[in-house]
Structure 1
Amino acid sequence: MKSLDILDWIFIGLYFLVLFGIAIWVIFQKNNDTKDYFLAGKNIGWFVVGASIFASNIGSEHVVGLAGAGASNKIPMLIYEIHAWIVLLLGWVFLPFYARSGVFTMPEFLEKRFSAKSRWFLSVVSLVAYILTKISVTIYAGGVVVAALLGINFWVGALSTVILTGIYTVLGGMRAVVYTETLQTVVLVIGAAALTFIGINHVGGWSEMKTTLGAEYFNMWRPSTDPDFPWPSLVITSTIVGIWYWCTDQYIVQRALTAKNLKEGRRGTIWGALLKLLPVFLFLVPGMIALTLKVKGELEWDSPDQAFPVLMSNLLPSGLRGLVAAGLLAALMSSLASVFNSCSTLFTVDIYKKIRPQTEEKKLVSIGKFATVIVVILGILWIPIMQNISGVLYEYLQKVQAYIAPPITAVFLLGIFFRRINAPGAYATLIVGSVIGAVRIILELVAVHLEIGSLLHSLATMNFLTFGAWFFLVCVLIAVGVSFATTPQTLERLAGLTFSTLSKKDKLENENSYNWKDIALSVLVLIVVASVMIFFNGK
């Protein structure tokens, strides 16, 4: 790793100067009620919505982890990065229901569609999942990146970025998050794009890289018998996880809910989908470039997750290296800000306001700020445990998500498309699904102590993608079975919350919220996704 020089520090300093200038400007704006603090006054345009969706997704753990996947023969995992078509599902399928119901949070939507019990359960599960996965993993990866880039102690790097991000998130709320994320998106894309182009040129072009690594290395489609990435399970489970993450998770959906209307929200998701096509080229390919240089003896690292920062520090010229370093810091801070604000929203709207419904708006905003501070502290306390993560970080993330996503995806999908699914069916699916997911995680941790060939050992060692696909089927069967065994919900309660209960007015409002340009851009996204799938076939 080459250390940063004066010009690099100037670029990093300029980035922070502009970032906190935006944050301070936002902090002085009105934040007196929950709509202002948690949804930025519901007055955000499509460009900022889409940039915020993208920046929320691309954290430092994403940059580091995806490059690590590219540097460790895990190319099939790029399927998670061509989920731009699922981002379109958020805008075209799910968002109209969320916007029509006037909700702040995803658990709140479950209460309107099913019951208060479903809302409570999803709220608590989401908060715990955010603290144990999103926050902790982001802080861990961010600490590693900051320590490597700036040559400082891991703890100093991790704590500094967490505290700085926490300050403007607490004071500025959602408006501070979405506007700073727009800047961070621009910085990250420019920096990573520069590294990709310079890297490909340095190794002698794409064909030289393919010759060095072998054509098969570029194949994302492994046989159905492959022990790591069987393609049928990969397609099914990645889609299940994608729908959960992009269409039902507070972390992402909250960005679309900040839009001033449905038209802006949908266009924001289309813009976000177009941006989502970039990570394959901006982060996965640099990992492959780093591996090519390692094979040639021009680069060295100990872990695949070090591929991106090592490549960046050795390949980029002074100044540009500082810009990419600022981009990585931007990725870390945008993800942290997003999850801090989402946790704050979930706690305040779904838990505190439910317990004390008469609380004044100003006090709810104060509670939201306090909740953010608590989440920041819990995230910091979890860092020592996250330091024990081994292997490729990106794969670790997908494993955990494969155990969280199936019950939630099943409930939301069936809830919108199938009006016969009722409150008992949804609640049973969430409860049983969470137990199954937790049991799988525990079994995986103790697999070495289980008798080989036993049922428990088979469950513990089953490929995580195959497990995720069967897990989703079980969740669907539970939801349908329990719903048909119990009393259906009334059509009055379901009005506007499922496709079959939409009124003529609902349908007309939806039709008036898009035009041919929105359709054309959505088709373009689908064409690019299909092209990437065909291109990475190892031939």
Structure 2
Amino acid sequence: MNTLATLDWVVIAAYFALLLAVAWYVVSKKKAENSEDYFLAGRNMGWFVVGASIFASNIGSEHVVGLAGSGAADKFPLLIYELHAWVVVLLGWLFLPFYVRSNVFTMPEFLEKRFGSEARWFLSLFSLAAYVLTKVSVTLYAGGIVISTLLGVTFMQGALATVILTGIYTVLGGMRAVVYTETLQAIILVIGAAMLTFLGLDAAGGWNSVVDTVGPEYMNMWRSMDDKDYPWHWLVLSSSIVGIWYWCTDQVIVQRVLTAKNIKEGRRGSIFGAFLKLMPVFLFLIPGVIALVLKMRGELEWATPDRAFPALMMHVLPAGLRGLVAAGLMAALMSSLASVFNSCSTLFTIDIYKKLKPDASEKKMVQVGRIATGVVVLLGILWVPIIERLAGGTLYEYLQNVQSYIAPPITAVFLLGIFSSRINNKGALATLFSGIIIAGIRLTLEVTKDSMTEGSLIYNFADMNFLKFSSFFFLYCVAIAVIVSMFTKEQDKKNIAGLTLSTVSDEDKAKNKASFNWIDIGASLFVISIVVWVMIYFS
């Protein structure tokens, strides 16, 4: 395998110098004076920056490790999770108007306005714990693999350097620094990965040669209903539930759309982000397949599918381009971490500190936000040795299932809360609290199922396909929310005006209708048509 040349190091250094220059400009020229500016960039972002920020927030080095690894292994059905562009479109058309009308900073804040303070506290604490223990840890784990492969440093050195550098510019610049640097990172990542795909296909003899080598069945994302791992009907249901939770209710993603100057820019940003979301199929999955083809031909070696993308990069790219793509991969890692850092800061400051200290000044809230970010950075650093000890792959594989257990109760509460004013706070709380208990039981049993008697009822529950479990779990959450709400007192509709479909005023409906035109509709249909085409092509 080739190593990074002097020119590669020059390109990497130039990239990081440019990144820090952008962050420094944001800090010195556009200093955050209040909480809205620090956490939501003054709600003044245009659609291009919003869309690029959505894309960069989602795409992390775990995509390079996980998605390319899926292409290099026999896990092509996981492609469906990268076809959630239609859900990003749904964010702009369905969810965003409600979020903007409620004038919220965070998703827990929205739940409070819809269901009461208990729902806000639940989602705030739950989200903070989930971010620190899953998003930060998974990103660091995947980044450690990539950086150690590219730069020849240890896992610990690469992860520590990246988390510290990301933390510095996130703490100083807040959301404005994050969205501007994410825009730069998205451009670098797309250019670099596109070059790798193009040159990789050339090295493999073209697309037809790739398909002939692995066989057309290898690229079929639709397995039979009896498939043990990825039955297509449970895959579609579960992935949709997870998609709505992640893209339409998760703080990290929605916070990007809330930075827009108005609904029109936010919707167009989500549509642009949806278009960009289609790229990972070609930027990461296909290179994984190419790496497999070259390995089958004896032209490339890699120990595990996780190493496929960086191994292909070092094999086919010339000096200079290797440095650019390496910079892009590190940019992806930093984007994911920066997004989580800032969202954790926002959740803690707005949903916890402000509730405890309602009279806190704007300046004090920004200071607390910076301290909260620093604490998350510290927790991420402390988590690095734990990840390294568990780097055998079990942690990463396990965490891929976690979102299927987290998503159902939150997705059910948000969807029902918007579609029906009859769903009340008691129904929402019953769903959230019972849901987290069931998810915790399932995860515990799944980890310990090897000690159970095979064939027993409890073993079958623990061993149930996670896609099937997630789908049934969602139906349970919907049923609990509806039943409890029907048998308890209805909420006063004056208190939830504008937060459900039936309580939106005619004036707000008119404003929303005036915020889009045929261009927005056409662009949305274009994105959805591409999703359908990819699903048909890989069948």
Normalising by structure 1, report the TM-score: 0.98
2:526 maps to which of 499, 518, 524: 524
* 2:512 alignment partner, one of 501, 504, 510: 510
| Alignment-derived partner of residue 20 in structure 2 | 20
Q: Retained in 2: the 8 A contact 1:118–1:426?
A: yes
Over residues 342-377 of structure 1, what are the superposed CA-to-partner deviations in whole Å (9 max), with x where a residue is unaligned?
000000000010011111110000000000000011
Q: Is 1:468 aligned to residue 433 of structure 2?
A: no
Alignment of 1:196-207 (within 5 A): 196-207=197-208
Distance 1:87 1:199 in 2: 29
Shift of the alpha carbon at 1:142? 1.0
In the other structure, the counterpart of 2:242 is 241
Structure 2 counterpart of 1:222: 223
Report what 1:485 is aligned to. Answer: 487
Q: Which residue is equivalent to 1:420?
A: 422
1:450 maps to which residue?
452
Structure 1 equivalent of residue 408 of structure 2: 406
CA contact (8 A) 1:142 1:158 kept: yes
Mapped partners of 1:302, 1:5: distance in 2:
23
| Counterpart-to-counterpart distance in 2, 1:488 and 1:448 | 46
Distance 2:494 2:421 in 1: 12
Is the 2:422–2:486 contact (alpha carbons within 8 Å) kept by the matching residues of 1?
A: yes
Partner amino acid, structure 2, of 1:471: F
Q: Secondary structure at the match of 1:493?
A: coil
* CA shift for structure 1 position 395: 5.2
1:452-485: CA deviation from partner (whole Å, max 9, x where unpaired): 1112111111111111101101111111111111
* SS of residue in 1 equivalent to 2:22: helix
Residue 386 (1) aligns with residue 406 (2): no
AA in 2 matched with 1:192:
A
Aligned pairs for 1:245-324 (under 5 A) are 245-324=246-325
Q: How many Å separate the matches in 2 of 1:154 and 1:222?
A: 36
Query: For structure 1, which segment, 182-191 or 290-299, has the greater mean C-alpha deviation from structure 2 after superposition?
Result: 290-299
Which amino acid in structure 2 is aligned with residue 177 of structure 1? V
One-letter amino acid matched to 2:137: S
Matched residue of 1:436: which SS? helix
Structure 2 vs 1, CA of residues 15 and 392 (structure 1 numbering), >3 Å: closer, same or farther? farther
Q: Are the aligned partners of 2:31 and 2:173 in contact in 1 as well (CA < 8 Å)? A: no
Partner residue in 1 for 2:2: 2
The question of whether the paired residues in 2 share the 8 Å contact of 1:65 and 1:392 is answered with no
Match in the other structure for 1:359:
360
Contact 2:87 2:244 in 1 (8 A): yes
TM-fit CA distance, 1:419: 1.1
Q: Which residue of 1 aligns with 2:80?
A: 79
C-alpha distance in 2 between matches for 1:80 and 1:396: 16
* 2:2 match: secondary structure: coil
Which residue type is aligned with residue 295 of structure 2?
K
Amino acid paired to 2:439: G
- After superposition, residues 106-117 of structure 1 pair within 5 angstroms as 106-117=107-118
Contact 1:236 1:469 in 2 (8 A): yes
Tell me which amino acid in the other structure corresponds to 1:312: M
Distance of 2:457 and 2:357 partners within structure 1:
47
Cα deviations by residue, 1:80-128 (Å, 9 ceiling, x for unpaired): 0010000001000000000000000000000000010000000000000
- State the alpha-carbon separation in 2 of the partners of residues 341 and 396 from structure 1: 26
User: Aligned pair in 2 of structure 1 residues 128, 198: CA closer, same or farther (>3 Å)?
Assistant: same
Deviation track 1:268-297 (CA, whole Å, cap 9, x = no partner) reads: 000000000100000000000001111111
CA spacing shift, 1:389–1:426, aligned 2, 3 Å: farther
CA distance in structure 2 between the aligned counterparts of 1:100 and 1:311, rounded to whole angstroms: 47
RMSD: 1.0
- Secondary structure of 2:32's aligned partner: coil
Alpha-carbon distance in structure 2 between the residues aligned to 1:138 and 1:398 = 12
How far, CA to CA, are the matches of 1:426 and 1:75 in structure 2? 36
Distance 1:9 1:462 in 2: 48
CA contact (8 A) 1:62 1:394 kept: no
Show the counterpart of 2:62. 61
Separation of aligned partners in 1, 2:391 and 2:239: 22
How far 1:384 moved relative to its partner?
Answer: 2.7
Q: CA deviation at 1:398?
A: 3.3
- Out of 525, 534, 537, the position equivalent to 1:535 is 537
Deviation at 1:427, TM superposition (A): 0.7
Q: Distance in 1 between matches of 2:217 and 2:391?
A: 29
Q: Could you say if the C-alpha distance between residues 515 and 181 of structure 1 is closer, same or farther in structure 2, counting changes exceeding 3 Å?
A: same
| Identity level (%) | 65
Letter of the aligned partner of 1:294 in structure 2? K
Answer yes or no: is the 8 Å Cα contact 2:57–2:182 preserved in 1. yes
Give the aligned residue type for 1:428. A
Query: How many angstroms apart in 2 are the aligned matches of 1:57 and 1:102?
Result: 24
5 Å matches for 1:3-152? 3-28=3-28, 29-152=30-153
5 Å-filtered alignment, 1:421-436, equals 421-436=423-438
Deviation at 1:386, TM superposition (A): 2.5
User: 368-377 vs 390-399, which deviates more?
Assistant: 390-399
Alignment of 1:161-172 (within 5 A): 161-172=162-173
CA positional deviation for 1:394: 7.1
- Letter in structure 1 aligned against 2:168: I
- For the 8 Å contact 2:430–2:481, the answer to whether it is kept is yes
Residues 140 and 395 of structure 1: is their aligned pair in 2 closer, same or farther, counting only changes over 3 Å? closer
Q: Check whether the contact 1:171–1:369 (CA below 8 A) recurs between aligned residues.
A: yes
- Residue 60 of structure 1 deviates from its aligned partner by 0.6
Range with bigger deviation, 7-16 or 102-111: 7-16
Letter in 2 for 1:84: A
**TM superposition shift of 1:385:** 2.8
SS at match of 1:2: coil
Confirm whether residue 210 of structure 1 aligns to residue 211 of structure 2: yes
Deviation at 1:186, TM superposition (A): 0.4
Structure 1 residue 303: Cα displacement: 1.2
Q: In the TM superposition, what is the alpha-carbon distance from 1:212 to its structure 2 partner? A: 1.0
Distance 1:80 1:156, change over 3 A: same
CA distance in 2, matches of 1:15, 1:8: 11
Native 8 Å contact 1:136 1:380 kept in 2: no
Looking at structure 2, the residues matched to 422 and 306 of structure 1 have their Cα atoms a distance apart, in angstroms, of 49
- Is 1:187 equivalent to 2:188 in the alignment? yes
- Deviation per CA, 1:416-454, whole angstroms, max 9, x where unpaired? 001111001001111011111111111111010011111
8 Å contact kept, 1:240–1:406: yes
Q: TM-score, normalised by structure 2?
A: 0.98
State the 1:396 CA deviation.
4.1
> Quick one: distance in 1 between partners of 2:377 and 2:533?
41
Q: Supply the AA of the counterpart residue of 2:212.
A: T
8 Å contact kept, 1:245–1:252: yes
What code does the residue aligned with 2:331 have? A
Deviation at 1:389, TM superposition (A): 4.7
Q: Which one-letter code corresponds to 1:466 in the other structure?
A: K
Amino acid at match of 2:427: G
Contact kept? 2:138, 2:396, Cα under 8 Å: no
> 1:299 Cα deviation (Å)?
1.1
1:494 matches 2:496: yes
Q: Secondary structure at the match of 1:466?
A: helix
The whole-number CA distance in structure 2 between the counterparts of 1:360 and 1:299 is: 59
- Report the secondary structure of 2:270's partner residue: helix
Tell me the SS of whatever aligns to 1:446: helix
Do the aligned residues in 2 keep the contact of 1:49 with 1:259 (CA within 8 Å)? yes
Give the unaligned 5+ runs of structure 1.
Answer: none
